[in-house]
Chain A
């Protein structure tokens, strides 16, 4: 079946702009995760959804970052007033409760 998909695959924006990154999880997966992977580093946890609600958003770096999952499926990560330090690959993963996390290919965000 289809895996986790993320769009766009690449996003280039200017400092100060607003961006949205989309994640389509595997059908039937109720848990969804966002991670950020900076160059030369491992992924860092941002936020975890169980269904429509954010069960743990402790990894969001500041209030410029926000994520939603209004219908318990697709999720959007929103970044306001982007900064150069936001440049990274943003990874999405989904799972069944207690199950293995399946990762998407990521969105590479570049802030100029």
Chain B
């Protein structure tokens, strides 16, 4: 079975500061890893995904994440936060590829302070 742990249910950063959202996974087989963003009253939107190619993955809106097998981590970063980045972020793992069920973390609410 696979699982995801997101450290920090709430993260606050100042506008222009570095965003770092932490995700650690557990999987008995090589995983596929995803970050989703959820804005209020909207569906989940895929930010980026790792599917065993390059370990540094670039996504939409300036976000990127690095797969570190030795640390079982897939942390999400963005060099400079914008007010529009305020949302809830979910890390997810799949062991069958994106065509099968996703196991999500409990989410991190990002607040961007002016």
Interface residue ranges, A against B (CB under 8 Å): 3-4, 31, 33, 35, 40-45, 48, 56, 59, 91, 93, 95, 97-106
Contacts and interface: CB of A to CB of B under 8 A. Distances in A.
A103 B107 CA distance: 16
A85 to B, nearest CB: 18
- In order of increasing CB-CB distance, the 3 nearest A-B pairs are A42-B104, A103-B43, A45-B101
Q: Secondary structure of the A side of the interface? A: loop
A106 B104 CA distance: 16
B77 interface: no
B45 A59 contact: no
19 contacts: A33-B101, A35-B102, A40-B9, A40-B106, A40-B107, A41-B107, A42-B90, A42-B107, A43-B90, A56-B100, A56-B101, A91-B44, A93-B44, A95-B98, A100-B46, A100-B49, A101-B46, A102-B43, A103-B36
Nearest to A97: B99
A59 B104 contact: no
Interface in B25-78: 36, 41-46, 49
Interface of B: 4, 9, 36, 41-46, 49, 90, 92, 97-107
B99 A105 contact: no
B98 A43 contact: no
Contact of B43 (A44, A56, A91): A91
A43 B41 contact: no
B40 to A, nearest CB: 10
